[in-house]
Structure 1
């Protein structure tokens, strides 16, 4: 019976956790998708890269969502069991609240294992790959984002290509309008070419050049004497490139490297990863204690105070992390005092849930009566 009961409770909570996690993840992804789609429209990101970067960020989203989803699912699942009097049947069958707490911590252990796998391995690995992909994206020039048959840019800085040649990677029938700075001021330029291609020269430090073939270049303001027309067979323009930097942000480092590091930011990141795992069993006890409702009250009677308590817990952790990064909180104290505070809150709520205080009050009058009878 014990194993069957644990499976039943675990199924109720874990299925709800998966559903809530999926819903919250879709909400976050939709917001990020809209933001990235704007960058695609501005020509700052390729459409294919949008899905790549979203995929790499999913583990980081889940590591924050999972504790919240588990807590809400615990309240919903256990609240339903109380409303439908299933908990009353369990208690009348000999299942104590202490045993129910053990089952709840067992379920929390499964969630903690999944959270630990994400926090300590999958999320840092994905963020590192996301940083690599972002650097590769930054190395692309504006011409890599061009869409055939469409003018890109605004004002005097406009580019147009008729089509791409997939085999050679050439841009056919290209028009380029730009402005160059000279002593006399900004001078407009226009260039027409049959085709162009990008060439990387490694001997010059991986410099990119845009090479135009069979075209004409116009420079100057029409109607003035300083106006030139140049016809060319080959015309090369050096393109600006960004130097790759080392990927050493704390959230991209492996957990082992954080443990071995003496850097303050690395220590803060390590404590943050541990906190996202430690928070789960603490929230489990708080959620169990606040999930008990009277069928007449409804399953959502205690949801608001429980959610407010959860928000306060997470807000304190975020505030504590900021304080650690700025040096306002000693690293030795870390975030442990916040976990200790809410462990105490969970213990008090569970004692009230288990009617410890009520039993003590019930024993006091009986003791007084015995003393009077003895005297």
Structure 2
């Protein structure tokens, strides 16, 4: 490989590594904040936050890799023009089209990795995410109560807070529970709690040594009880709730379906998901090649305008892919046309821009001013 190709490949790889690590850290930061918020609200368990973060990162890798490759090629080409290194390469007999081979040398392996992720790894990761969430949703109310944390159950009808146990044999220490019923607002406090399972399989959260306060909203009616033992029945999800959860899970499972099942399914939703999985590696190749003419800028002009245009082009590309996926899912666009239409348009745009950059304009003829004839 020539010195030019080695330097281009090395610089693109270096920039891609920096951009990829930066985007991944930003993604993980935002994701962890969201997952910790869900854990604080009781939507997911605190013990599955790291697992969900890992699997969610796998699903985000195809887009992160595509964007990283696009920015890396764009930055490399722009830097060579800004610092006038391209003048040296042009003087050595090279042109802008000689960038295609080293860029493809970096882009093709990345596209292969993206294809593996979208066709194999991402569906598996989505299945693991769905399994984590489904497993937590099927837990009883008690299993969601953890020491030092407020937990909402039954859509906020029950709120629990518990401390660490202080007595042997207890599973929870001091417990405070707020229960909203059709006519009463109840607050229960107890010194300790434990689980008790009846012979018929019913489970109870048994509170020991506590107080119960009942208030009927809008009236002065008030009740107070002291108890030695008080039981909350912890029922599993009812059939209606299970049906609701099943419907929600069915909507999420389209992304989790293996690729071979999508190929054998002729529904519009399956075609749209298959189109998305095929489009991401193609988009990575197209964006990498498109970054070559987008990065060929005039060093005398400002850099912000060119970077902004390149960002808008990349954003438009990904949005059009999403739009095509929606049209395929709704039956407004055929699968074959939807897969190749956007990529074909941007490939033609890339070739047109390369032609514009490579085209050598003929010099303008000098202006000849007419002079009056001598007398």
Give the TM-score of the pair, scaled to structure 1: 0.79
Other-structure match for 2:190: 192
Q: 1:226 to 1:288 in 2, by over 3 A?
A: closer
Other-structure match for 2:139: 140
CA distance in 1, matches of 2:164, 2:228: 21
1:86 aligns with 2:85: yes
CA distance in 1, matches of 2:167, 2:27: 36
**Offset of residue 190 of structure 1:** 3.2
CA distance in 1, matches of 2:114, 2:152: 45
Contact 1:195 1:214 in 2 (8 A): yes
1:56 aligns with 2:52: no
Deviation string, structure 1 residues 228-282 (Cα, Å, up to 9, x no partner): 8585668461324364747672211122222222221111111111111111222
Other-structure match for 1:104: 103
Pairing of 1:184-223 with structure 2 (within 5 A)? 185-186=183-184, 188=186, 190=188, 192=190, 194-197=192-195, 199=197, 209-212=203-206, 214-215=208-209, 218=212
CA distance in 1, matches of 2:157, 2:137: 24
1:250 aligns with 2:244: no
Other-structure match for 2:349: 345
Q: Which of the residues 257, 270, 273 maps onto 2:274?
A: 270
Unaligned runs of 5+ in 1: 366-375
1:18 aligns with 2:22: no
Deviation string, structure 1 residues 91-133 (Cα, Å, up to 9, x no partner): 3334444332122222221221121122112211111111111
Q: Which moved more, 1:70-79 or 1:81-90?
A: 81-90
Q: CA RMSD of the aligned region, Å?
A: 3.6
Other-structure match for 1:46: 45
Pairing of 1:289-308 with structure 2 (within 5 A)? 289-297=293-301, 302-308=306-312
Aligned length: 352
Q: 1:77 to 1:173 in 2, by over 3 A?
A: same
**Offset of residue 333 of structure 1:** 2.0
CA distance in 2, matches of 1:194, 1:169: 6
CA distance in 1, matches of 2:198, 2:336: 50
Contact 2:272 2:326 in 1 (8 A): no
CA distance in 1, matches of 2:167, 2:257: 38
Q: 1:280 to 1:141 in 2, by over 3 A?
A: same
**Offset of residue 316 of structure 1:** 1.4
Give the TM-score of the pair, scaled to structure 2: 0.79
1:334 aligns with 2:334: no
Contact 1:21 1:62 in 2 (8 A): no
Deviation string, structure 1 residues 146-186 (Cα, Å, up to 9, x no partner): 453566669995534332489967223434342434xxx33
For 2:17, what is the secondary structure of its paired residue? helix
Pairing of 1:170-189 with structure 2 (within 5 A)? 170-181=171-182, 185-186=183-184, 188=186
CA distance in 2, matches of 1:135, 1:125: 15
Contact 1:174 1:196 in 2 (8 A): no
For 2:70, what is the secondary structure of its paired residue? helix
Q: Which moved more, 1:67-76 or 1:303-312?
A: 303-312
Contact 2:160 2:177 in 1 (8 A): yes
Contact 2:205 2:231 in 1 (8 A): yes
Other-structure match for 1:163: 164
Contact 1:193 1:215 in 2 (8 A): yes
**Offset of residue 8 of structure 1:** 2.5
